[in-house]
Amino acid sequence: MASLKDLANRKEGLSGGHRACIGCGATIVARQIMLASPDPVVVVSATGCLEVTTTIFPYSAWNVPFLHNAFENAAATLSGVEAAYNAFMRKGKIAKKINFIAFGGDGGTYDIGFQSLSGAMERGHNLLYVCYNNEAYMNTGVQRSGATPRGANTTTEPVGKVRQGKVKFQKDLTAIIAAHNIPFVGQSIVGNWADLTRKAEKAFATPGAKFINVLQPCRLGWAYKPEETAALGRLAADTCVWPLYEVEKGILKVTFKPREKKSIMDYIKKQDRFRHLTRPENAGLVAEIQAEIDRRWELLISKDGKQLY
């Protein structure tokens, strides 16, 4: 796998001067994914934080070819780009290897873009879809998504007198996409560059449809100190809130096992979106969340090394 020195010799995909929040994790994801590609990349982004902050006309932060179409169709749009590339390859009009990357937030991926993503995965286009998953619609002011964890405070499923934020647990999109029987699916975080870039490298080296779901701490929606973006990502892995694993050719591999699994409370305390959960009357809810995190982690560990698909 590429060292940081190797990555530093590659093309920087994203320029400074974009309008992402101070300490934004989404642009870290975009940079690291692009750096992991040994070949030139073409990027499509769904409408969302990453797109609106990096392409305010006439200022584009993208140093690579970039296309934005709409909110829910990054996967379909990129499948069209890839189809054009295949047509030109066949006709001898283009020869260079290009890696195709789609970026979508969790809103554009779990929710409104789910159909488009599923279709592109099923058709098996040679592309990598990366979800920068900050667990709510951050671009428009922290509205809940299908990726929002139980108990998180959002503006459309807020904490109130009788409700304590999101009622349901998030759906397991990584597993859903793995069930498409595509050759590579990964789950990673901001804060473990080696894990993320290694997964991206694997994806780029594998023909077919690939998907990586990256948990991305968000300053605005999660509310924590800006310097802790990467550290908070690592904490999500250390608490097993967000396990790091991959499914390569159907075989599941947990790529990070914490030496000592930290308590969910360590993670909750760091973020304002969970502030209400630290109140004594919510201890039962926290216990339920901990139990579900444990259950999901144990289930995952039981599948480690096994052929799932």
Partner 1 sequence: MAVAAKTGNEAMAEAMRQINPDVVAAYPITPATEIVMIFAQFVADGLVDTEYVPVESEHSAMSACVGAASAGARVMTGTSSQGLAYMYEILPIAAALRLPIVMCEVNRAISGPINIHCDHSDTMAARDFGWIQMFSENAQEAYDNTLQAVRIAETVKLPTMATTDGFIISHCMERIETLEDDQVKDFIGEYKLTPSLLDIENPTTRGALDLQDYYFEHHVGVGEAMKGARSIIKSVAEDFNKKFGRKYDLIEGYKLEDAERVIVALGSTCGTLRAVIDELREKGAKVGLLKIRVFRPFPADEIAKALSNCRSVAVLDRVEPWSGVGSQTFVEVRSALFNLAKKPKLINYMYGLGGRDISLKELAGVYENLKKADSLQEVNYLGVGE
Partner 2 sequence: MTAKPGWKQLKEGDILEAGTSQKFTTADWRSERPIFHKERCIDCKLCWVYCPDSSILLDENKKVCGIDLEHCKGCGICSFECPVKPEKAITMQNEHK
Residues 49-78 that bind partner 2 (CB under 8 A): 54-55, 57-66
Give whichever of 114 and 132 is closer to partner 2, judged by the CB atom. Answer: 132
Binding status of residue 24 toward partner 2 by CB under 8 A? yes
Residue 8 binding target from partner 2, partner 1, none, CB below 5 to 8 Å by type: partner 2
Residue 52 binding target from partner 1, partner 2, none, CB below 5 to 8 Å by type: partner 1
Residue 200 binding target from partner 1, partner 2, none, CB below 5 to 8 Å by type: none
- Which range touches partner 1 (CB under 8 A), out of 60-68, 147-155, 201-209, 220-228? 60-68
Counting residues that bind partner 2 (by CB under 8 A) gives: 43
Please, what is the minimum distance in Å from the beta carbon of residue 168 to partner 2? 31
Binding status of residue 98 toward partner 1 by CB under 8 A? yes
Binding status of residue 95 toward partner 1 by CB under 8 A? no
Residue 119 binding target from partner 1, partner 2, none, CB below 5 to 8 Å by type: partner 1
Residue 80 binding target from partner 1, partner 2, none, CB below 5 to 8 Å by type: partner 1
- Which range touches partner 2 (CB under 8 A), out of 29-37, 142-150, 164-172, 269-277? 29-37
Sequential DSSP letters for the chain: ---HHHHHTSPP-B-S---PPTT-SHHHHHHHHHHT-SS-EEEEE-SSHHHHHHEETTEE-BSS-EEE--SS-HHHHHHHHHHHHHHHHHTTS--S--EEEEEEEHIIIIITTHHHHHHHHHHT-SEEEEEEE-SSBTTTT-B--TTPPTT---SSS-B-SS-BS--SPPP-HHHHHHTTT-SEEEEEETT-HHHHHHHHHHHHHS-SEEEEEEE---HHHH---GGGHHHHHHHHHHTTSS--EEEETTEEEE----SSPPPHHHHHHT-GGGGGGGSGGGHHHHHHHHHHHHHHHHHHHHHTT-B--
- Enumerate binding residues for partner 2 (CB under 8 A): 4-5, 7-9, 12, 14-20, 22-28, 31-32, 35, 54-55, 57-66, 191, 193, 226-231
